[in-house]
Amino acid sequence: MCSVGDTFGSIEIPQFESKLYKCDDCKNEFKGIGKKVVCPACMSKKVALINNE
């Protein structure tokens, strides 16, 4: 059995604790994971957590 890895393409990555953030600099909204969240658009650390459930 050497077919390990054949199913990699169909594995769905579970949504861990991704939360919605909004950048305070460029107003970009994005999903962040973890504690060190930075804006993917401008790399700013001034992001605010949005409670959107």
Q: Which residues bind Zn ion (CB under 5 A)?
A: 23, 25-26, 28, 39, 41-42, 44
Write the DSSP assignment of 28-43 as a string of letters.
-EEEE-SS----TTT-
Edge-to-edge strand order for the sheet containing 47-50? 29-32, 19-23, 47-50
Residue 23 to residue 2: CA distance in whole angstroms: 46
Choice between 18 and 26, CB closer to Zn ion: 26
Q: How far is the CB of 46 from Zn ion (least distance, A)?
A: 8
Q: How far is the CB of 21 from Zn ion (least distance, A)?
A: 10
Choice between 11 and 36, CB closer to Zn ion: 36
